[in-house]
Amino acid sequence: MRHWKWIAAVLLLCLVGGGAYLTVQAKAKRDSRQITAVYPRAKESFVGDPMPFYDQGKFSIYYLEDLRNGEAGFHPFSLLTTQDFYHYTNAGQVIPYVNQEDSPERALGTGSVIKDQAGRYHAFYTAHNDTLSPKEAIMHATSNDGQKWTKQPKDTFKASANYQANDFRDPYVFYNTSAKEYWMLIATRNAATGVIARYTSKDLKQWQDQGVFFTNDMNNDSTLECPSVVQFKGRWYLAFSDQFDRRVVHYRVADKLTSTFKAPQHGQDYVDGAGFYAGRLVTDNQHLYLVGWIPTKEEHSDRLKYNWAGNLAVHELIPHGDTLVPQLPQAAAKQITNQQAVLTDKRTKLPIASAARSVTLTLPASKNKKLILSVGDTNHIVVDQRAGKMAYYNTALTDIARSNPMTETTYQAAADGKIKIITEDDIIVVYAGNQAFSNRIYEAKKTPLTMQLQ
């Protein structure tokens, strides 16, 4: 009996210990899914075209995951969730592409997610394959929890005769409470220019073309990518990305959804430069956000151009009249180190820090001064009060006068002269006056950022 009691005791100890081990392992597995960052991405991939969705106190940010793994297929839907835009959970891939060269779903393109009145989730997305004709179609998937999805291929539809079939993508779906129907906005082309088409549905399965919702009004023929529209504090805001010209995210404003959406009368109709793209609007009814990405550079070199996909980036937008002023989301700002800096004509050095931090400084009242933010000898962000411009040059400081900036944006300086600089790893975002200015500078990983008045 004692022998069996001893064996039983050992087995019990193993079970308890094993249970503890399994618990630790499970916790480690869960913890590996956590990302703490202002500008997150999964370690093995990059974030493209976010599709934010707010539901019951949580933001689910679906995105096109750029795996860069050389497969025939690319860009599955993957998912990050957050409540404060700093602590994220990486749910990984949720809607896969089809890894076949002849599949319409060889690549997934931008879409959106909505929950119907019965509590079921619906994802609408672009199926894209350059080798097919037409190249693009709108597809549908459903889910009970927003993470496990079932594709509904019977609901697929392509462009009507009014639009260019090879440019028919980025569906954005929302429920129009006044009309008691679902609206879908689609980026497409009509009469050789970019338009946003409107389709309607009662059941999220059958869609009817209702004509053009918005036509490119920028004096170019650019496609209006990744459209989104939300109502916030009594106004409607429409956002879209300029594919060909400046490659920035523009917005338009209207008092009613059925009114003409117009550019703001004062200030710019965009809130960031070309270092931020594919921004989609989302609101929790208390705050308005623009969710996009900050691109990587070709060959990960500061000497080369920006390319597609990078890190997730979020601006909180504050209405001032009919203009929107960006800032770091308040919820994220509370999570990171905040410090004050004093500017002089001599260089002030900020130590290298991979973790996110916020640095606040004040420009002098004199409008003749420039703020030079330098990373090494050949990466400089210039905040020029007199010219009303922020620009990033990847050249020597002495060559700036005869060089073209890699990216730039206009801005109107704040009355109090306050500037906020957010740094995290190789990302530097400047909030100055009524603009944000996002950039990636790889040199920042190993060289301190310096600040100087000139």
What is the C-alpha to C-alpha distance for residues 230 and 214, in angstroms, rounded to an integer? 15
Share of the chain above pLDDT 70, in %: 93
Task: Provide φ and ψ at 328, rounded to 5°.
Answer: -60, 135
pLDDT at 143: 98
- Residue 246's DSSP bridge partners are none
What is the C-alpha to C-alpha distance for residues 406 and 418, in angstroms, rounded to an integer? 24
Q: Reduced to 3 states, what is the DSSP secondary structure of residue 319?
A: strand
Within 10 angstroms of residue 384's Cβ, the number of other Cβ atoms is 20
* Nearest of 194, 174, 172 to residue 185 by alpha carbon: 172
Cis peptide before 50 (omega within 30 of 0): no
- Residue by residue, DSSP assigns 211-263 as EEEEE--SSS---EEEEEEEEETTEEEEEEEESSSS--EEEEEESSTTSPPB-
- Residue by residue, DSSP assigns 41-55 as --TT-EEEEEEEEEE
Lowest mean pLDDT among 22-36, 73-87, 317-331: 22-36
Q: Which amino acid is at 37?
A: A
Pairing of strands 337-340, 357-362: parallel
What is the C-alpha to C-alpha distance for residues 73 and 419, in angstroms, rounded to an integer? 43
- Judged against a pLDDT cut of 80, whether residue 5 lies above it is answered with no
> Which residues have a Cβ under 8 Å from the Cβ of 243 and sit 6 or more positions away?
194, 222, 223, 224, 225
What is the C-alpha to C-alpha distance for residues 411 and 414, in angstroms, rounded to an integer? 9
Predicted TM-score (pTM) of this structure: 0.92
Express the helix, strand and coil content of the chain in percent, nearest 5 each: 10, 50, 40
Give the CATH number of domain 336-453: 2.60.120.560
- Residue 128's DSSP bridge partners are 107, 136
Q: What is the arithmetic mean of pLDDT over 143-168?
A: 97
What is the C-alpha to C-alpha distance for residues 276 and 296, in angstroms, rounded to an integer? 11
Tens of pLDDT, residues 281-307: 999 999 999 999 999 999 999 999 999
pLDDT at 416: 87
Residue 125, CA distances (Å) to 28, 44, 100, 102, 237 in order:
33, 23, 18, 18, 22
Tens of pLDDT, residues 250-266: 999 999 999 999 999 98
Kindly state the greatest CA–CA separation across the chain: 93
Q: What is the arithmetic mean of pLDDT over 306-326?
A: 97
Looking at per-residue pLDDT, the higher value among 50 and 352 belongs to: 50
Confidence of residue 454 (pLDDT cuts 50, 70, 90): confident
What is the C-alpha to C-alpha distance for residues 171 and 187, in angstroms, rounded to an integer? 7
Among left, alpha and beta (phi > 0; psi -120 to 50; other), residue 417 is left
What is the C-alpha to C-alpha distance for residues 108 and 136, in angstroms, rounded to an integer? 10
pLDDT at 1: 38
> Domain residues of the chain, as ranges?
34-331, 336-453
Topology at the third CATH level for domain 34-331 = Tachylectin-2; Chain A (2.115.10)
Residue with tokens 């916030």: 232
What is the C-alpha to C-alpha distance for residues 384 and 331, in angstroms, rounded to an integer? 30
